[in-house]
Amino acid sequence: MKEKGLIKKVLETDPAARNWFNVVINYPGVHAMFFYRINHFLWTTCHLKLIARFLSQLARFITGIEIHPGATIGRRFFIDHGMGVVIGETTIIGDDCVLYQGVTLGGVGTGEHKVKRHPTLLNNVMISAGAKVIGDVTIGNNSIVGAQTVVLSDVPDNCTVVGVPAYIVKENGQRINKKL
């Protein structure tokens, strides 16, 4: 089961996580992922889209985290302090990614339901509090998006971006100042 890996990830990532029971009982990001896995199964495998959307809204009410059941999310995805997180329908999230409170992985209003209109996060990406990643952009492997950053363009692997609009401040461990 994927969520066992998630609990281990939380224990490794969050110094406030004291034990597995604490994580299971008190972490809304874990609860949101539990609901998401069920809703995603209903959406993709059973084609029960109305029920999946209804249950995802119920999960949002309970956790404060909105994850569209059509999103694709990899292993060990952790949402820490997740209130206000929004993850759109065509979002793709790789393995070992972390999001903090108030993050939006939002779409562009193309009017088309079948086009990719939300972000892709590759593996080991961290998106800090309040950041907005909008549209069909890709955040590269091992990259960090700083707090309150607005990302509207692709971010290469191994970069840290900050600002509105986002610009690169670190690439492959070296400090730089470069537009996206």
pLDDT of amino acid 3: 62
User: Using alpha carbons only, how large is the chain's radius of gyration in Å?
Assistant: 16
Q: Which residue has the higher pLDDT, 114 or 164?
A: 164
Report the mean per-residue pLDDT for the chain: 95
For the question of whether the overall pTM of this predicted structure is more than 0.85, the answer is yes
Q: What is the pLDDT of residue 114?
A: 75
C-alpha distances in Å from residue 21, one per residue of 14, 17, 85, 117? 14, 9, 24, 37
Summarised one tens digit per residue, pLDDT across range 17-67 is 999 999 999 999 999 999 999 999 999 999 999 999 999 999 999 999 999
pLDDT in tens, 134-176: 999 999 999 999 999 999 999 999 999 999 999 999 999 999 9
Nearest to 100, CA basis, from 127, 76, 73: 127
pLDDT one-digit tens code per residue, 61-104: 999 999 999 999 999 999 999 999 999 999 999 999 999 999 99
Reported as a pLDDT band with limits 50, 70 and 90, residue 1 is very low
Decide the pairing of beta strands 92-93 and 98-99.
Answer: unpaired
pLDDT band per the 50, 70, 90 thresholds, residue 110: confident
Instruction: Please tell me whether residue 86 adopts helix, strand or coil conformation.
Output: strand
Cβ atoms within 10 Å of 106's Cβ, excluding its own: 17
Task: Check residue 35 and give its pLDDT.
Answer: 98
Can you tell me the distance from the alpha carbon of 113 to that of 68, in angstroms, rounded to the nearest whole number?
13
Comparing C-alpha atoms, which of 48, 50, 44 is closest to residue 90? 44
